[in-house]
Amino acid sequence: MTNAKRTAVWWIRRDLRLIDNQALSAALATHDQVIPLFILDPALLTSPYVGQKRLAFLFEGLRQLEKELREHGSRLLVRKGKPLEQLQAIVEETLSEVIYAEADYSPYACQRDAEILELLPLKLTEGVVVHPPGSVLKDDGDPYIVYTPFSKVWKKIPSPSKVDLFIPPDKISTPDNIKSLPIPKEPALSAEALFFPGSKEAQARLEAFTASKEMPICQYGKGRNFVDADGTSKLSPSLRFGMVSARQAAVSALEAVANAPDKDARKGAETWLNELIWREFYVHILYHFPRVRSQSFRSDYEHIRWANNEEDFEAWCEGQTGYPIVDAPMRQLRQQGWMHNRARMIVASFLVKDLLIDWRWGEKWFMQHLVDGDPAANNGGWQWTAGTGTDAAPYFRIFNPILQGKKFDPDGRFVRRWVPELADVPDKHIHAPWEMDEAAQKAAGCIIGRDYPTPIIDHAFARERTLEAFNIAKDKD
């Protein structure tokens, strides 16, 4: 085909948005026409780490992006196949001069992009994180492997402001008559889904959390750990797919810090900003140490003799461990594809430290079920809890599931919602229902061992077993 206008491809990966999209901005700055392209990569779609809920969220997100593009006079092009082959085809069909994409930093993405860079005019911009790998380093050029010094240097780097955020033009010119596949209809987003995808939804969530009159971000430090409260932003799925940029999230957090009415409110907003920096820290770790996808960061803990009991693992997956504060979030995960961050730590600690099951089993299960499943953050979180990672909690820090329940779900509201068998159990027994006597069990309509399982393991025994296993592994190294 002939093409008198200069044309660029905007290769959409983890940036399903128009606002503050640096790849789209670069394409529009230098070319007359832009081709928004999403490639259905079989290597990702069929990965054992990809779950149906996350795919449904992605596909509906693509439909929302398509609507936005139509509002700007453009449209979304969809192709399926190996990215290199599909990009070669689209460049030949449209005589495009360049392909713009936001850099990604997972091992797969790095290898994929390196191969394409050798053969095609691919230009990578920033956007997945605020400060990309290589920009936050020690004085000797080595990467940080501990969060606190990383965060201090991260904060010293000049931060973007609102004026730096790209606003798309009213008109985005896209060539006609380019063939496109339909966006897959299956898996479909459930009517009970906790999150609705799309940039507009993400913008609304960010605004409500950081800039509304109530400014929930200012209460984040106090309320974020209570699993029965709505104290988090719930922006993680949007950040996972770039329906809102990391840069805009950071700008909003910094503005909230600056506008906080008092010291406590400012501390709350700073706490949320620190969570964004944790996200970036794990992206950097995965980039600099790609082996963590399959290995413990701390090599001495590769020698742990895991119990890896499959029946115990199945009970954990099904939310049938007999520990309510473990079972409730595991059931929520299966139904909604999301879990509160405190609950993630609790259930991860139980799997690794109580059941002595390899953290990689849990990491994979989470990736299969989480809508916001991100290879860097998920891996980092699991290794942190397991005590095998970088900025790791000591291996001897083992969460007591009963105490965690009492502290972070004090009235048992969260447990009762997701474990209805325990709906009528009194507050004093809700996190240890097996302690009820026979009369109390009958009164609550919940016979332990029949209506709800007895604990699959004794926590005190499990703690000692885990300490021994970790100590033996350390001695072997």
Q: Is 418 a catalytic residue?
A: no
Q: Domain 7-127 belongs to what architecture?
A: 3-Layer(aba) Sandwich (3.40)
Give me the sign of the Cα torsion angle 159, 162, 168, 169. Answer: negative
Q: Is 275 a catalytic residue?
A: yes
Q: What is the pLDDT of residue 393?
A: 63
Q: Is 309 a catalytic residue?
A: no
Q: What is the pLDDT of residue 159?
A: 87
Q: What is the pLDDT of residue 392?
A: 61
Catalytic entry in 316, 359, 361, 418: 359
Q: Is 361 a catalytic residue?
A: no
Nearest to 386 by CA among 46, 214, 378: 378
Q: Is 278 a catalytic residue?
A: yes
Catalytic entry in 93, 306, 309, 434: 306
Dihedral over alpha carbons 113, 115, 118, 120 (to 10 degrees): -60
Q: What is the pLDDT of residue 203?
A: 97
CATH, range 129-164+198-288: 1.25.40.80
The residue ranges of every structural domain in the chain are 7-127, 129-164+198-288, 299-472
Catalytic entry in 225, 259, 309, 341: 341
Q: Which residue type does 214 have?
A: E
Helices marked H in 289-432: 310-318, 324-336, 341-349, 359-369, 375-386, 401-408, 413-418
Candidate from 30-34, 215-219, 471-475 with smallest mean pLDDT: 471-475
pLDDT value at 1 more than 50? no
- Burial letters for 51-86: b for 16+ Cβ neighbours within 10 Å, e otherwise? bebbbbbbbbbbbbbbebbeebebbbbbbeeebbeb
Q: Which fold has domain 299-472?
A: DNA Cyclobutane Dipyrimidine Photolyase, subunit A; domain 3 (1.10.579)
Please classify residue 95 by burial: count the beta carbons closer than 10 Å to its beta carbon, then call 0-12 exposed, 13-18 middle and 19+ buried: middle
Contact, 77 vs 90, CB < 8 A?
A: yes
Give me the sign of the Cα torsion angle 406, 411, 413, 419. Answer: positive
Q: Are strands 98-102 and 122-125 parallel, antiparallel or unpaired?
A: parallel
| Residue 394 banded pLDDT, cuts 50, 70, 90 | confident
Catalytic entry in 102, 270, 275, 363: 275
Catalytic entry in 272, 316, 361, 382: 382
Catalytic entry in 278, 338, 365, 418: 278
Contacts of 153 (CB under 8 A, 6+ apart): 136, 137, 144
Q: What is the pLDDT of residue 213?
A: 86
- Burial letters for 462-473: b for 16+ Cβ neighbours within 10 Å, e otherwise? bbebbeebbeeb
Q: What is the pLDDT of residue 130?
A: 97
Contact, 235 vs 244, CB < 8 A?
A: yes
| Residue 167 banded pLDDT, cuts 50, 70, 90 | very high
Nearest to 298 by CA among 452, 80, 474: 474
